[in-house]
Amino acid sequence: MHWLVNAMTDSRERETFNMLNCNIYVFDHSAAINIDDCVNCNFFLGPIKSSVFIRDCKNCKFILSCQQFRTRDCNKIDIFLCCNTQPIIEASSGMRFGCYQYFYPELADHFKSAGVTDAKIDDFLSIPLAEEFSKMNISLDVSKSVVPKTHGNRRKPSDESTLVVFFNDGSCSARAFSFINAMRSSHQECTLIQTKEVELKPEDAQRVFNTDSYNNIVQQGAVIGMEYNGDDCVETCKTEALNFMKGSVGLVFVSQSQSEAEKQIEDFYNFADMQMAV
């Protein structure tokens, strides 16, 4: 059985329960979702503004993005997740997690409406195919995904990391994604560890960048920060960033050395974590 929700006129709270051998697809943003007592089901859920709570489910697969994710009394669940906070797993077993990778035309706008920005999940699974939607404009292509694929909190491949920050100029998201795709295509030796979109005040920027040069520009809006890791990644990202700045008024920051990068990454992501906790 297939259930499809598309182009809803409001962001509502949804509940699903007692489903068996079903495929449920919600191509819309929602306020909150509760899922109970489902067996052998597949779920795709558009961005959720607050929480997803999954209880008493077994042998199910989920692709979802939310502010808060929680499970209780679940068994053998595969989840491709983008979540603004650390997931809460209670009395559950056989849980496997993967990086959220998905695209449909309205998804970016739905992410903005729901306020979901980033994942804190490592990539342990390969995302399933979507043969059921061959006629729809849906893609699992990593280069098209609204959420970039990141390495997460696993052991880093190299001892060298660098911080790259795109400042808000009205198109920083597009420029950041283009940079990520260029790095993936031309510099596979550099691994994207984590990303975060945050609002910085001038005093926050001065603490992260150790200069007041960015105090004015951070007041234009949220910045997008990303950590890259790999041998010579500092110089590689500096070179690639210079190419992106040619013919553009958009500003990009890249750590100037490995020693500076370590502190800048720590300060930037510590601030981002504190902002999420507020």
154 is in an annotated binding site: no
**Residue at 271: amino acid letter:** F
CA dihedral 82, 176, 254, 100 (to 10 degrees): 20
In order of 41, 196, 205, 219, 272, the CA distances from 222 in angstroms are 38, 10, 12, 8, 11
69 is in an annotated binding site: yes
* Neighbouring residues of 48: CB distance < 8 A, sequence distance ≥ 6: 29, 30, 31, 32, 33, 64, 65, 66, 67, 114, 116
Where are the extended beta strands (E) located within 91-173? 93-99, 161-166
Q: Compute the residue count for the chain.
A: 278
CA distance 138 to 226: 26
Whether residue 59 contacts residue 78, with contact meaning beta carbons closer than 8 Å, is answered with no
Question: Exposed/middle/buried for 87, CB within 10 Å: 0-12, 13-18, 19+?
Answer: middle
68 is in an annotated binding site: yes
67 is in an annotated binding site: yes
Strands 161-166 and 252-254: antiparallel
Question: CA-based angle 204:255:153, to the nearest 5?
Answer: 80
Question: CA-based angle 214:203:147, to the nearest 5?
Answer: 65
Whether residue 41 contacts residue 22, with contact meaning beta carbons closer than 8 Å, is answered with yes
**Residue 147's closest CA among 195, 191, 78?**
195
- Which parts are annotated binding residues? 67-70
- Which parts are annotated binding residues for GTP? 67-70
